[in-house]
Chains A and B, each alone.
Chain A
């Protein structure tokens, strides 16, 4: 499958479908905060080069390290990369800088089935996923 939006994997790996793109947060214009927790936040951000917006999930590397969850983060990335379906929020690309990991996800609008304020604090939105991060050279290499 061709990488979306003309982005290429900087490692030249054509087996990953969501490329590890040579991007930085400076390539984006932040449009709004979609959610925030203590471990990560999700921004709606527009890639200036193409004008296309994504849900950019930003995870703190230090936290991943502290939690010893590198393995889970990598697993989430690999699973997301392997699964493509129109009924899933697909992963488009990833990149990183010294502080953070970035997952570029398809942008959707949030549905809320709840009548009452949900027990969905920002923390629990991301806690489950974002508690899952850790450090290590593996991360450097693979995400």
Chain B
């Protein structure tokens, strides 16, 4: 039986996600955010729980309960592209989830698409490190860590240089200095995504979902220790042309 939803649990139990998988999932997230942002919609609650996996292994973003609209809902409904220069600035407030909230979301700053790029930075870090960069013992402590930009950058053995560079450019306090503020091209052009054919991301072969086999006699208590069935599946490969 396949339990595709547990792929990430399994991989994380075994260490970091393979970098090609990180690249594949990240590229999909970048394209979805590009689409939303073009319509003036900021998701504002980008986090792992809101990313679901299809049977084919593609990601889908859900939960639009926290969206911030940068233009009138009528314009969104009509499919009008967002024009930043034509719209007044709007303030944001705290919604979403503490760990992925940008400093301006915490401080009631100006709303922009960069709020999502911050959250993407947290999510990107988490795919590699297996926990988000800012996590305190309480929501308050998490907020403090974010405001102090207090996070740990692991060594190159865990976080390759170009990935670390992307994290550093996304987790920037000033949204106007954050990568992506001036457009998605800034993100797409980053060295981490070198070799990604942005026009064909949806045609790329997704990481193969890991098949989880339940041994006979497994009790409910043992579910956390399910074994991963044979192997080639556990390293789903993303074919990125280089």
Task: Tell me which residues from 39 to 93 in chain A have a Cβ below 8 Å from any Cβ of chain B.
Answer: 72, 75-76, 78-83, 85-89
For the complex, what is the distance from the CA of A88 to the CA of B9, rounded to whole Å?
22
**Nearest CB of chain B from residue A20's CB, rounded to whole Å:** 15
Contact in complex: B52, A110 (CB < 8 Å): yes
For the complex, what is the distance from the CA of A79 to the CA of B130, rounded to whole Å?
32
Q: Would you call A138 an interface residue if the criterion is a C-beta within 8 Å of the partner chain's C-beta atoms? A: no
Q: Would you call B151 an interface residue if the criterion is a C-beta within 8 Å of the partner chain's C-beta atoms? A: no
**Nearest CB of chain B from residue A55's CB, rounded to whole Å:** 8
Q: Would you call B237 an interface residue if the criterion is a C-beta within 8 Å of the partner chain's C-beta atoms? A: no
For the complex, what is the distance from the CA of A79 to the CA of B78, rounded to whole Å?
10
Contact in complex: B65, A82 (CB < 8 Å): no
Q: Would you call B92 an interface residue if the criterion is a C-beta within 8 Å of the partner chain's C-beta atoms? A: no
Inside 8 A of A83's CB, which chain B residues have their CB?
35-36, 39, 41, 64, 76
Closest chain A residue to B7, Cβ basis:
A111
Given A111-B8, A112-B6, check contact A79 B41 (CB 8 Å): yes
**Nearest CB of chain B from residue A45's CB, rounded to whole Å:** 16
Interface size on B, residues (CB 8 A): 49
Inside 8 A of A82's CB, which chain B residues have their CB?
39, 76-79
Q: Would you call B59 an interface residue if the criterion is a C-beta within 8 Å of the partner chain's C-beta atoms? A: yes
Identify which of B43-51, B83-91, B192-200 touches chain A. Answer: B43-51
Closest chain A residue to B139, Cβ basis:
A119
Contact in complex: B35, A87 (CB < 8 Å): yes
Q: Would you call B165 an interface residue if the criterion is a C-beta within 8 Å of the partner chain's C-beta atoms? A: no
Identify which of B66-74, B180-188, B215-223 touches chain A. Answer: B66-74
For the complex, what is the distance from the CA of A112 to the CA of B29, rounded to whole Å?
15
17 examples of A-B residue contacts, CB within 8 angstroms: A78-B73, A82-B79, A83-B35, A83-B36, A83-B39, A83-B76, A88-B61, A109-B4, A109-B54, A110-B52, A111-B4, A113-B48, A114-B9, A114-B131, A115-B12, A128-B63, A130-B65
Interface residues of B (CB under 8 A from A): 4-9, 12-13, 28-29, 31-32, 35-36, 39, 41, 45, 48-49, 51-55, 58-67, 69, 73, 76-79, 95-97, 123, 126-127, 130-131, 202
**Closest CB pairs A-B (n = 7):** A129-B65, A113-B48, A108-B52, A89-B62, A87-B32, A109-B5, A111-B53
